């Protein structure tokens, strides 16, 4: 089939366009691969240092004859790793007397008892029971101490972002607790008489929780031959902070 001159010109132009397009695609792919290689080659080694810090919390509540339940959360900056938490429970039976203003205390007075249950989220509950008074410490291993000492990144911000991603969800710990007081008051039917005589009834006791915890905060610095040229991030403040559910709680951070 014979083509007209104009058709031949169009066909030639079409072939040229296809050739240019193919060359452009090959060049684009080459440049993209080259860019990826350059980005990878720009990554440098950063030394990771973990600074050990501590924090504290304290709160308490008067517990009557119904079980008291609440929770609190220890929450640190992203990238931090909470390792150990210690919770100290203390309480003491109130001195409440009845029966002729204490002359016959056995009629209405007996030692109170306290039951406590403290649970780290997704862990086994820890329990305590005591009569008259109590002083118990609950120790929780939340996370293992981080051991990463180096990371590859483009710059300091990139290194810190990678650390945050690697250790996400390790910067917080939630605890639930239940406190139940059983009063030792005998013959509760005499309570109206005690009220008439303006004598106090034994209705409960006050407890307190002291929380101390340890956590590690990372810093990243570019590794050099003499370590004279580097940038780092991280806080120098050693004061611990925490947030917690304030429902039914008294007290706050130390």
Q: How many domains does the structure of the chain reveal?
A: 2
- Do both 145 and 245 map to the same domain? yes
Does the pLDDT value for residue 109 go beyond 70? no
- Do both 1 and 84 map to the same domain? no
pLDDT at residue 227, as a whole number: 53
- Do both 198 and 216 map to the same domain? yes
- Tell me the pLDDT tens digit for each residue of 20-29: 887 877 766 6
Mean pLDDT over 162-167 rounds to 95
- Do both 54 and 33 map to the same domain? no
What distance in Å separates the CA atoms of residue 118 and residue 178, rounded to the nearest whole number?
7
- Do both 23 and 80 map to the same domain? no
Does the pLDDT value for residue 108 go beyond 60? no
- Do both 2 and 89 map to the same domain? no
pTM score, two decimals? 0.66
- Do both 1 and 77 map to the same domain? no
pLDDT at residue 165, as a whole number: 95
- Tell me the pLDDT tens digit for each residue of 223-241: 886 554 444 444 433 333 3
- Do both 161 and 65 map to the same domain? yes
- Please give the residue range of the domain that contains residue 28: 1-38
- Do both 111 and 75 map to the same domain? yes
Least trusted range by pLDDT, from 20-34, 165-179, 182-196, 220-234: 182-196
What band does 135 get if pLDDT is binned at 50, 70 and 90?
very high
């Amino acid at each position: 089939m014979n083509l007209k001159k104009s058709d031949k010109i169009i066909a030639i132009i079409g072939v040229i366009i296809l050739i240019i397009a193919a060359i452009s695609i090959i060049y684009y792919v080459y440049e993209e691969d080259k860019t990826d290689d350059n980005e990878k080659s720009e990554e440098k080694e950063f030394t990771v240092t973990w600074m050990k810090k501590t924090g504290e919390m304290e709160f308490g509540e008067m517990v009557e004859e119904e079980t008291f339940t609440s929770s609190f959360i220890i929450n640190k900056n992203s990238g931090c790793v909470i390792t150990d938490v210690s919770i100290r429970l203390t309480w003491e039976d109130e001195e409440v007397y009845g029966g002729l203003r204490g002359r016959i205390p056995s009629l209405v007075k007996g030692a109170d008892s306290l039951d406590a249950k403290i649970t780290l989220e997704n862990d086994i509950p820890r329990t305590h029971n005591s009569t008259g008074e109590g002083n118990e410490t609950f120790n929780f291993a939340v996370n293992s101490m981080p051991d990463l000492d180096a990371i590859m990144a483009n710059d300091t911000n990139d290194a810190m972002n990678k650390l945050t991603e690697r250790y996400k969800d390790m910067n917080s710990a939630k605890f639930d607790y239940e406190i139940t007081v059983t009063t030792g008051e005998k013959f509760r039917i005499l309570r109206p008489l005690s009220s008439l005589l303006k004598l106090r009834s034994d209705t409960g006791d006050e407890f307190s929780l002291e929380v101390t915890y340890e956590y590690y905060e990372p810093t990243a610095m570019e590794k050099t031959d003499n370590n004279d040229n580097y940038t780092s991030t991280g806080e120098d403040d050693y004061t611990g902070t925490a947030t917690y559910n304030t429902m039914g709680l008294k007290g706050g951070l130390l």
